[in-house]
Amino acid sequence: MGAFLKRHDIAIAVTLVAVWTAAQIVNLWGSWSVDMSAIYMAGHFAWLGEDAWIYGAPPDFFSKLVPERWTEVLIGFGLKEEFAVPFVYPPIWAFLVAPMAGTMDPITFFDITRVVTTGAFGASILVAWRLMRPAGISATAFCVVSIVIASLTVPYLFSVSLNQPQFLVVLLILLAFERYQAGKPLLAGILLGVVAAMKISPVLLCLIFVADRQWRAVAACGLTAAGIAALSLAVAGWDLHMTFLERATQIEGLVPLIGFNMTFETMMYDFFVPMEHYENTASRVLGQDTPWVSALSKMLLIAAIWGTFRVTRGVEETARLKVRLILLYLAVVWFGPLAWMHYYTLPLLLAPGLIGIWTVRQVALITGAMTLGFMKPVMLGVMDWTLDAGDYQIFYAQHTALFPLLAFAGMLVIWSARQGAKARPRGDALAA
């Protein structure tokens, strides 16, 4: 009877997520996808053999000044009023989508990829439940809570409208650690290696494998990422990779102070450090990186990584993986050069699953606070208020979400520290 009810619960949860996901896709069908436009344009030019335009970008990178060749392509599809954003992924991904992007119009490409990205987010809800396994909470209840949070908060609402590829990254990260928890370290490493080949910074999550001395997972991650990099070099050539690195360096040196880039550096420029404006732009919200702030951010990242493994060493094994994943992910994101709103979908998905580790009341309070901070009316209300006051620093809006997130991380650290009275787990290579 118990097994039947469990299967019934999972069937309802899957159906609920599928219906909700389908509704999101239908609602946005046929619309322009700003973030996916970067991948479309890169793939389109790869198909045409115009490699010089794959990494085309305006001088200040973040403005809406579309390169002339891009404009010609958009006009050819009757999309003169739309704009595309620069491509910032490794070259291999442009060549992988080239057969699609080169043979269909942008809207058709967006509709197909929207099924993939939005479907990936829906699947992430289910995988998050399997990973967290909150005590006393059914799969259906967990999915209802996750859908409500997503439907109210900017990280999801903003990202689904943009057709954000980050949803695929989130799914692969969750799937990697769900498989790792299930005793499949080799598959976990392969999945995380694919993530590292898409976005470089998540490779730091591999330190969880290192701390556990799971060398098969570490090797699988490294070999998978290296294999995809080698394939990329073979397909795209050396010059495009040098251009990619130049673009990455350019982005590293810029600080877009806007309401949807939430990092340690933007907080510093918001409250403590005068911003030096980037000289090649008319935008008042694009700054130039201050070297000591960037260096401090990197040092704090190292400290946060060490602190995460140190403070969680006394936590029971199953809970330790979950807490480490959340803390390490938040550290990598927040102390990185860019942390767009869609990066924060992962902690919002995992937070409700802490029931059993924390009390229902604790989880409800912190999850509610983060949801409130990320709610669209709250964030955009603060943004409108600062603009009405004549303040161009519209990134103040992000702090409605920042402080609940910091409180969330702080609660995890304090809880973990209280578990320190337990014996230190064996096989923890980074907690010394």
- Report the alpha-carbon distance of residue 141 to residue 146 in Å, rounded: 9
Domain ranges of the chain: 2-421
The pLDDT value given to residue 431 = 58
According to the model, what pLDDT value does residue 394 have?
A: 45
pTM above 0.75, yes or no: yes
- Give residue 338's pLDDT: 76
Alpha carbon distance 308, 314 (integer Å): 11
pLDDT profile of the chain (432 residues), mean per 10: 69 96 96 92 93 78 70 84 84 94 94 97 97 90 96 92 94 97 96 92 94 96 95 92 84 63 77 62 57 87 95 90 96 85 92 92 93 82 56 55 88 89 56 56
Q: Which two tokens stand for residue 354?
A: 């802490």
Q: How far apart are CA 17 and CA 117, in angstroms?
A: 14
Q: What is the pLDDT of residues 401-425, one digit of tens each?
A: 888 888 999 999 999 998 875 645 5
Instruction: Burial-class residue 214 by CB neighbours within 10 Å (0-12, 13-18, 19+).
Output: buried
Torsion of Cα atoms, 326 then 330 then 332 then 335, to 10°: -160
pLDDT score recorded for residue 389: 47
Give residue 52's pLDDT.
Answer: 87
Nearby residues of 338 by Cβ (< 8 Å), 6 or more positions away: 251, 256, 261, 263
Distance CA 93, CA 236 (A): 10
> What's the pLDDT at 268?
78
Residue 377, token pair as written in the block: 């009316």
**Chain segment 82-115, per-residue pLDDT in tens:** 888 888 889 999 999 999 999 999 999 999 999 9
CA 245 to chain centre: 20
Name the E strands within 283-417.
Answer: 286-288
Strand order in the sheet with 276-277: 254-256, 286-288, 276-277
Report the C-alpha gap between 201 and 251 in whole angstroms: 14
Cα dihedral 128/129/132/137 (nearest 10): 150
